[in-house]
């Protein structure tokens, strides 16, 4: 099989020929149909996330077709199209798992980080963490639902019932969350890199009430804001844009340092929180909602061997929507 392999942080991925893996008893083997490129992949490749297995096949937005199946697998058959998300394994026994917070599991393992992922022609995945995908999404269109969509949805839940929602960083996650938020009747205020007119136009096309640079104040105070851009300086900016009692959610796995800020912008019961990973319940809820809400994903398809180019374009903000690798 072909895979794009990370040998050490900071190096470009290398196209490598590997043996096709055999599924263990809980696993399915998939022929990969499409794999989304997530900002988390960039943090792994750049060494900002420091605990990858090495060598590693990145990729945790995998759409694949089942072609072999372990003895203990239930609910999937050969030929099924399945999605594989970031959450790849949990222990099921730690206090978090027992409390319905498997996203915080003490012994969680993640796809494309501690488990080889989908930047490849084939992969294996624990079927207990895989999902059937809504039929009407094409393979590439379904891929961004599996992380950008899922984590975006979890971030939106953490924003509560906010009617005026700010979104900082208008990439793959934001373009999905904006559609769900509009479907729920919320007003969306989109913040992009200053001067990024293309991203601002994209946000307006998706129904945002306002789009501007992250250095601008929105025309109305926000009830909540979600920050997807990995930029710590946006935290005080989002707090300043939020009303009393407003919520600021950091939706990314990594962020540059947050500059110090005066207590008065947190005061009056504003809440600052992060979102980590996903639960399988989030995935079931979101995949059903995506269909009801008519969420459409905007994807840029690229060949598997162009993974480095895809990561480079993501780094430079040179994508409208989500890059998806096709083996």
User: Which residues make up the interface to Zn ion (CB under 5 A)?
Assistant: 38, 40, 90-91, 94, 97, 105, 147
Strand partners, 27: 126
> Minimal distance in Å, beta carbon 173 to Zn ion?
8
Looking at the Cβ atoms of 107 and 268, the one nearer to Zn ion is: 107
Strand partners, 56: 6
Cβ atoms 68, 89 nearer than 8 A: no
Looking at the Cβ atoms of 212 and 230, the one nearer to Zn ion is: 230
> Minimal distance in Å, beta carbon 279 to Zn ion?
11
> Minimal distance in Å, beta carbon 186 to Zn ion?
23
Where in the chain does DSSP place strands (E)?
2-5, 14-17, 27-36, 62-69, 81-84, 87-89, 109-110, 122-126, 131-132, 164-168, 187-192, 210-213, 222-227, 242-250, 271-274, 299-303, 322-326
For 254, residues 6+ apart whose C-beta sits below 8 A from its C-beta are 40, 43, 48, 49, 230
Looking at the Cβ atoms of 144 and 212, the one nearer to Zn ion is: 144
Cβ atoms 163, 155 nearer than 8 A: no
H-helix or E-strand spanning residue 282: helix 280-292
> Minimal distance in Å, beta carbon 210 to Zn ion?
27
> Minimal distance in Å, beta carbon 254 to Zn ion?
11
Looking at the Cβ atoms of 145 and 239, the one nearer to Zn ion is: 145
> Minimal distance in Å, beta carbon 57 to Zn ion?
15
Looking at the Cβ atoms of 40 and 179, the one nearer to Zn ion is: 40
89 alpha carbon, distance to own chain's centre? 17
* Residues belonging to the chain: 327
For 111, residues 6+ apart whose C-beta sits below 8 A from its C-beta are 59, 60, 62, 84, 85, 86, 87, 88, 117, 118, 125
CB atoms within 10 A of CB 163: 13
> Minimal distance in Å, beta carbon 30 to Zn ion?
18
């Amino acid at each position: 099989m072909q895979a794009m392999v990370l040998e050490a942080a900071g190096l470009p991925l290398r196209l490598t020929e590997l043996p096709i893996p055999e599924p263990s008893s809980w696993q399915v083997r998939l022929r990969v149909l499409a794999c989304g490129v997530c900002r988390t992949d960039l943090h792994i490749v750049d060494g900002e996330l420091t605990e990858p297995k090495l060598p590693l096949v990145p990729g945790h937005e995998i759409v694949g077709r089942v072609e072999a199946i372990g003895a203990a697998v239930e609910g999937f058959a050969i030929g099924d199209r399945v999605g594989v998300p970031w959450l790849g394994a949990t222990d099921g026994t730690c206090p978090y798992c027992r409390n319905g917070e498997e996203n915080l599991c003490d012994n969680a393992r993640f796809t494309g980080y501690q488990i080889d992922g989908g930047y490849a022609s084939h992969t294996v995945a624990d079927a207990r963490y895989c999902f059937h995908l809504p039929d009407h999404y094409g393979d590439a269109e379904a891929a961004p639902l599996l992380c950008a969509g899922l984590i975006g949805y979890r971030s939106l839940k953490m924003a509560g019932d906010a009617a005026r929602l700010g979104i900082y960083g208008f990439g793959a996650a934001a373009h999905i969350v904006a559609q769900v938020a509009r479907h729920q009747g919320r007003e969306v205020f989109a913040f992009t890199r200053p001067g990024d007119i293309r991203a601002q136009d994209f946000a307006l096309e998706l129904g945002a009430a306002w789009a501007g640079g992250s250095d601008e104040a929105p025309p109305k105070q926000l009830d909540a804001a979600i920050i997807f851009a990995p930029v710590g300086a946006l935290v005080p900016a989002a707090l300043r844009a939020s009303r009393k009692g407003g919520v600021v959610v950091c939706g990314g796995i990594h962020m540059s340092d947050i500059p110090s800020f005066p207590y008065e912008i947190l005061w009056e019961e504003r809440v600052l929180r992060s979102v980590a990973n996903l639960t399988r319940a989030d995935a079931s809820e979101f995949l059903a909602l995506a269909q009801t809400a008519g969420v459409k994903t905007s994807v840029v398809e690229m060949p598997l061997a162009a993974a480095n180019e895809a990561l480079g374009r993501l780094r430079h903000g040179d994508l409208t929507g989500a890059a998806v690798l096709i083996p």
